[in-house]
A = this chain, B = another copy of it.
Amino acid sequence: MYSFTNDYSEGAHENILKALLESNLIQSAGYGLDEHSEKAKVILKNVLKNEEIDIHFIPGGTQVNLICISSFLRQHEAAIAANTGHIAVNETGSIEACGHKVITANSNDGKLNKEMIEKILKTHSVEHMVKPKLVYISNSTEIGTIYKKQELVDLYECCKLNNLILFIDGARMGSAITSKENDLKLSDLVNLCDAFYIGGTKNGALFGEALVICNDKLKEDFRYNMKQKGALLAKGRLLGIQFEQLFKDNLFFDLATHANEMADMIQDELVNLGYKLLIKSPTNQLFPILPNESITKLREKYAFGTWEEYDENNTAIRLVTSWATDKEKVMELIEDLRSL
A-to-B contact residues, CB < 8 Å: 2-3, 5-6, 8-12, 14, 17, 20-21, 23-30, 59-63, 65-66, 70-71, 74-76, 78, 89-102, 127-131, 201-202, 206-207, 221, 223-235, 237-238, 324
Q: Are B99 and A76 in contact (CB under 8 A)?
A: no
Can you list 26 A-B pairs, Cβ within 8 angstroms, ordered by A?
A3-B27, A5-B29, A11-B23, A11-B24, A12-B24, A17-B20, A62-B230, A63-B230, A71-B74, A76-B92, A76-B221, A90-B129, A91-B227, A92-B127, A92-B129, A93-B100, A93-B228, A94-B229, A97-B98, A97-B228, A127-B224, A131-B224, A202-B234, A207-B233, A207-B238, A230-B230
Q: Does more than half of chain A's interface fall in helix, strand or loop, or is it mixed?
A: loop
CB distance from A220 to the nearest CB of B (A): 9
Copy number in this complex? 4
Q: Are A96 and B101 in contact (CB under 8 A)?
A: yes
Q: Which of B61, B75, B131, B221 contacts A131 (CB 8 A)?
A: B221
User: In the assembly, what is the distance between CA of A38 and CA of B312, in Å?
Assistant: 37
CB distance from A340 to the nearest CB of B (A): 23
On chain B, the residues within 8 Å of A60 by CB distance are: 59, 230-231, 233-234
User: In the assembly, what is the distance between CA of A42 and CA of B334, in Å?
Assistant: 39
Further 7 A-B residue pairs, CB within 8 A, beyond A94-B228, A96-B101: A9-B29, A75-B98, A76-B221, A91-B128, A93-B228, A130-B224, A206-B238
User: In the assembly, what is the distance between CA of A131 and CA of B66, in Å?
Assistant: 18
CB distance from A306 to the nearest CB of B (A): 13
